[in-house]
Structures are given as C-alpha cells and as structure tokens.
Structure 1
C-alpha cells in the first residue's frame, strides 16, 4: 500500500528492470542461451552501468535464464505444438520478452519485513524505500511471520502493487491407518461428488463462465484497445472466481476426511483432454474445466492436515456398479442416472462413481503401503529347507502422499 511517491518509484523500478531483462534476453538469444555464469560475463557490467544494484542485476540475469529454461521445458513437453507448428516456430525464432509490470524477485538483501509495524523496506531505482505499508489477513500475517522463507516477487497489476511471498510450512504426520476412504468423483455438471454424500454443483460456475464467454465475444468483435484491456481484466476475474470455488470445495473435502479419520481418493484425469472427443459446442466446457487445479488444492490441503491422498485410475468408474461390480456401458442411463443391469441398483451416477473411486483408493493404498511383515530370523538351513525353495517375498513399494 505505497503512497503516491513510493508507487511512482516502484513503477519506475519494475519498468527499468524488465527493460534490462529484455536486453539480457536478446544477448542470451544471440549467444545461444549460455549458462547463467557465462551470461553474467556478457551482461553484468552493463546492468550495473544502467543503475541496477548488485543483487537486482543478479536477479535480472537469473530470471532471464530461468525463462529460457521454462521455454525449453515447454518445447520438450510439446506444450507449444509439434516441431514446425506455427506457435512453436514463433516461440523459437525470437528472444523471450518481459512485460513492463512483470514480476521482479527480491531476496532478504533487497527486501525486509517489519511485521509488527506492517511495513516493508524495499530497494528501488530511487534508493531504499522504508516504511512502505502492506496489508494482509491476520492468518496470512501469522503465516508470514512463522514460515516465510526465500525470495519474494514484486508485481504491478491494475495499478496495485503485490508482494508474493514464499512460505515453507512443515507437513503434518500422515495418518498411516485411515478408517476408510473418501472417494472424489470429478465432473463438469457436478464439480466434485464424494462418497460421503457431499456434492458441489457446477451450475453457478458454469453460468458464470457462460456470461463471461458472451461478454468476450462482444469485446472481441469490438477489437479496440480498451476492449482488449477489459478482456484481460475479465479473464483474471474469471480465474479468481473459479479458484475461489475450488478452494472452498477442497477445504470441505479435506476437513471432512480429517474429522472422520479417512483418507482421500481422487481420480487421475491427466491427459483427458487429449483422450476424449466432443462436439464443437462442448469443447469450451471441457477446456475450461479446472480439475487439475482442484486436485492440487486438495493435495496441498491434505498434506497440511496429515490426511493420506491417493490418485486412482478413473477407467469404468461411471459404468461399474458399486454394489455388485457389474460393468456395462448401458448401466449409465444418462448424465445423472445409474441403473445396474445386473442387480437393479439405481442411484445418482456421480454417487456411484465416487463409491467406485473410494474402493479403488483403498486398493491402491493397500498395495502401496510398506510391508509390516516381521523380518525372517536368521536360522541355520536344514536339509528340508535346502531341498524346497523358499516362497518368494514381495516388498510393496512405499506410499507417498499425493501419488499413487
């Protein structure tokens, strides 16, 4: 919460360091993107001559090199298309660019926090600014005081200045003997349905996305600079709205599991957008479905609460009867109705799938736990033992929270 003078200094600082980062990026591109130490030889002196402090210059070089590392990883993963694709060629053919308000890292030499006073002292191109006020919730302030560690990022967004701090919070001991599993079925119509009866309907979020889609179409048709600026603003608002809903859903699921002593089983939907084939009017809903973000929120909240979490294969969870185990495509009558052709069980389709996910989660947990069979005592081999081969011993792989 800087005053007018402090805001001006922070704004000038961000623009200066990002202009310098663009110059470093051009040098790196010309030199074939050398390692950070080699890149420092080509750029450090010039950055100092531009008025950047020693630490600021180091951070500019490091964030530029990190940007090329990220680009290389995206190319290797195919996130920018196959070799020869227009988007990929465009990314490879020019240096990485930084926005004027892009994030600038600050370490403890450039930024210090005064928690009791609610202020920070921060380096700028105009010198060290002291007593710059900041605001956050009481819980966030306690987290900053107890767990802040490492660098912070300063960014400017819509005229506001934000400090993004990293907090390393120790994980709670994992409950090694859960009373059962809470199966979580993920979807678009119902964002999440659990085997305990909780259902997070997606009607409100889907309506919100539809309104934003209609507004985007109008703004894109207009095509003015102000329309494009408003498009970016509305996109950020939609992301925040979806993230807030996912936080609420994840907190509800983890809190229920923690209170009842259960573990959580979640569907692993990695690659689902590449596997499914939908009509054109359904693709927007699929590609705006934030199931991965919800899974991440459930994972980190479960780690903080000490709740075990496993990912399971979602195959046939919507076609298999949770009561008798009969699997048939015809069991799924429609989006909301499940009717088993074998035993006659009728229930909500998402409820049935969540019970199947819970059952699979228990199987994954049992297979992944460390074996508790006591070690075989060392005894002298008898003639009978020598003649008969010993039964093979299978060591189950150890379980890690957040992986199957």
Structure 2
C-alpha cells in the first residue's frame, strides 16, 4: 500500500520561456472552454470522454495543441462534469430548483485562463539531478527549465514520483505539482493504547496525553486579517486591491502551517509510545450546527478537515493506526464515571461531573472519551475500521472526499512550495 502525496516545486523560467508557458496554458484552457461548450450542447451534464474525443480532438489539434495535451484537455472537461454530477447528486449545490443548482445546470463549465493543466511522460520530462524539467508546448519542446524545492522534496521526487504533474500559474509565479507514491510503514496492529484528539476553535487540538494546541494565536491572526481586509475593501482604490490580491492567501498559509505542526506533534508522540490515534468524525458539522452571527466567520474558518487529513497521512507514513469515532456527547460525558449530563460542561474550559464530582479541563475530558471510543472501535472492527483520507489529486482537482468517508489507504496532500 502507498500514501499518495503531491510535491509542489517552483519553476524559474526566463521571460521567453514564461511567455511560451503562458501561451500553452491559455491555449489549453481556451480549448477546454470550447470542449466544455460542445459537451454541454451534445450531452448536457453526461459527457463521456470517448464520445467527446470523437467530436473535439481534431479541432484541438488544428488549434495547435499537441496530441497528449489535447487528450488531457478532453479528460479534464469530462472529469469536471463528472464532479459536477457528483456534487448535484450529493446535494452540495442545493435542492432541485434552487438558484445555485439551476445556475450550475443551465450553462457549460468554464475554466480560468490560468487553470492548472496536467502533463505526463508523453509531454514532460524530469531531470532531478540537474533540477530542471522539459515541457512540450504549442511552440515546441522547451528543455532545461529550472525548478526550486527543498532537499526533502527533491528526495521524494527522485524516489517516489509517479503519474501526472500539473502546471499552474499563481500570482505571476509558475509551479509544477507532481504526484508521489510513498510506501506505507507497517501498521501497528496491536497499539498499546489510544491518543484521543478533541478538535475545537478555542483549542485547535487537545490530546488525551496532555498536549494542547491553543488557538489563540491563529484566531488573533484571523481577526487582524479580517480587520485589514475590511479597511482595504472600503478604500476601493487600485493600490488597495493590489494589497488584497497579494495577501489573499496569507491566512490560509498560516492555518496550514499551524495544522502541520500540530499533526506532526500528535503523530510523533503516538509513534513513540506505540499508540493509535482516535479522531472525531466531524463530517457535516457545518450543516448541523448553528451559530450567532458574530461567531459564524470564526466557525466557518475552522480548518478541522485539513488537520484531520494531515494527521491521517502522517500516521499512515509512520504505521500508526487511525480511527474516526462519533463525537456525540463526548463533551458532556465524564471520562471517569461515565455520567452524561449537558450541565457537566460548565463553561468552555471547565468540566465538573454531577455524578462523581470530578473537576477537569473540558477538552481534556472529551479527548479521554474519544480515546476510549477509539479503542472500542478498533477492537470491534480491527483493521477494517481504519479509515483514511482520499484528498485532492493534482491532475483531477475535483475528486475529493472527507476523512473516513470511504475505506482505503491512499492520501493525497499538497506540500508547500519554496518561498520566493
């Protein structure tokens, strides 16, 4: 079994090469928009790759796209329509007749001019030792395009790179996102115990081992970013818009860095002690829980799914078993006597059991309950109860699922690019 990761490297092309890459990316996405319109006209939302290829391949070749690029454009369009059908079936676009759903069903899918384009061994090559790549464009084969990445990313590329890579342009910079298949470590079939992890906003993660990752710093950062965005949006000047565009991903990068550090700490401790990890299955919580208006931004900025993904893929690489458990009433149940009462949770951080009188930190008490449920789930289902995350594929960006939503052991995650 393997863990699927994606490694993102930064290209440093010359001005002439960058112009050729821009022409290639624009040409591919213009072609994708035309193919999407043909697919919608002839098949509606039920486009199939083989049938669509017979209608569009020759025209794409006439427009200057190479053979491999033309086939990848058609595949990208059919995958986009398959993803749209899946979202409609799952109800992610609202009920039948809703405004959002009617809008999605009434027109072809449109691709941005700089949307990612997939490449494989037919139209792309890697030279890991020289840290260069070769890419086939409409203007011909371009050799020796330098790329930059960390030493660890370079080792991963050299040892485990497999499949397609995506070319994309973001904020004027060029990147390649390559798929790597890293072998899993041997799974610990008999964990010594379980580390329960309670997820939250005030405390991002609280482990039953005593580790607690406070969310104060991240919440303050988000509040500052929100205040700054509000001020800049009110100015409505060109310079303010440039600053907004430059800073638009800053909050997401900070949250991802927090989640990487937290997940590494939890998995490292579990691996060192021979324990498994029990996580809350919070899928659908945003639809179930209602908040007052001042709390909504904070709640919907909560990156619990990303943290669960990070913990899962790191655990798979370390051979640490992971289970997802039902979080119901874990904050109201006493971990010592089992008494359940909503009044046990006195405040955000204080738990006082009305049955036995024990006083504890509320999140720590919940994490102990999660750990106990993790052990019960593992004993009941053994290896079959170990869920894993199937995340976003670089070449098929719309086929993601939530943690624990389906069995399997593959996990795909975007690694960070080196800073310019």
What stretches of structure 2 of length at least 5 have no aligned partner? Answer: 1-11, 389-403, 408-420
Match in the other structure for 1:336: 349
The answer (yes or no) to whether the contact 2:378–2:386 under 8 Å persists in 1 is no
Find out whether 1:6 has 2:28 as its counterpart.
no
SS of structure 2 residue aligned to 1:169: strand
Counterpart in 2 of 1:400?
A: 386
Structure 1 range deviating more: 220-229 or 237-246: 220-229
Aligned to 1:239: 252
Q: 2-side partners of 1:224 and 1:149: how far apart? A: 46
Change (3 A) 1:35 1:304: same
1 CA distance for matches of 2:277 and 2:49? 42
Structure 1 residues 55 and 226: CA distance shift in structure 2, 3 A: farther
- Name the stretch that deviates more: 215-224 or 328-337: 215-224
Q: 1:225: how far off?
A: 6.3
TM-aligned CA deviation for residue 51 of structure 1: 0.7
Secondary structure class of the residue paired with 1:205: helix
SS in 1 for 2:249: helix
For 1:51, the equivalent position in structure 2 comes to 64
Structure 1 residue 168, shift from structure 2 partner: 0.9
Tell me which of 275, 278, 292 is aligned to 1:279.
292
Q: Please identify runs of 4+ aligned residues in structure 1 that moved more than 6 A.
A: none
Report the Cα offset of residue 73 of structure 1. 1.1
1:17 has 2:3 as partner? no
Shift of 1:234: 3.0
Q: Following the alignment from structure 1 to structure 2, what is the Cα–Cα distance between the partners of residues 276 and 20?
A: 42
Mapped to 2, the partners of 1:231 and 1:42 lie a distance apart of 42
Question: Residue 222 of structure 1: CA displacement?
Answer: 4.1
1:310, 1:77 → 2: CA distance? 24
Please state if 1:29 is matched with 2:40.
Answer: yes
Q: 2:170 aligns with which of 157, 177, 197?
A: 157
- Give the SS at the match of 1:297: helix
TM-score, normalised to structure 1, is 0.90
Is the CA contact (8 Å cut-off) linking 1:122 and 1:128 kept in structure 2? yes
> What's the CA shift for 1:209?
1.2
Give distance in 1, aligned partners of 2:226 and 2:387. Answer: 37
Equivalent residue for 1:351, pick from 337, 358, 364: 364
> 1:113 and 2:126 equivalent?
yes
Q: Aligned pair count? A: 377
Counterpart Cα distance in 2 of 1:303 and 1:53: 39
- SS of the residue aligned with 2:115? coil
Task: Give 1:217 shift.
Answer: 2.4
Per the alignment, residue 301 of structure 1 pairs with 314
Which residue of structure 2 aligns with residue 66 of structure 1?
A: 79
Give, in angstroms, the shift of residue 254 of structure 1. 0.4
Counterpart Cα distance in 1 of 2:20 and 2:318: 42
Please name the residue that 2:411 is paired with. Answer: none
Q: Which residue of 2 aligns with 1:394?
A: none
Q: Aligned partners of 2:239 and 2:27: how far apart in 1?
A: 25
Kindly name which structure, 1 or 2, has the bigger radius of gyration based on alpha carbons: 1
TM-score (norm 2): 0.87
Unaligned residue ranges in structure 1 (runs of 5+): 371-397
Which secondary structure state, in structure 2, belongs to the residue aligned with residue 369 of structure 1? helix
Contact 2:204 2:215 in 1 (8 A): yes
Residue 129 (str. 1) matches residue 115 (str. 2):
no
RMSD: 1.6
Mean Cα deviation higher: 356-365 or 231-240:
231-240
Q: Find the aligned partners of 2:19 and 2:253 in 1 and give their Cα distance.
A: 27
Contact in 1 for aligned 2:49/2:75 (Cα 8 Å): yes
2:324/2:387 contact within 8 Å kept: no
Q: Is the 8 A contact 1:303 1:401 kept in 2?
A: no
Contact kept in structure 2, 1:171 and 1:304, CA below 8 Å: yes
1:235 Cα deviation after fit:
3.2
Q: Per chain length, whose mean CA-contact separation is higher, i.e. which structure has more relative contact order (CA < 8 Å, sep 6+)?
A: 2
**Residue 276 (structure 2) aligns with:** 263
Picking from 174, 197, 201, the partner of 2:187 is 174
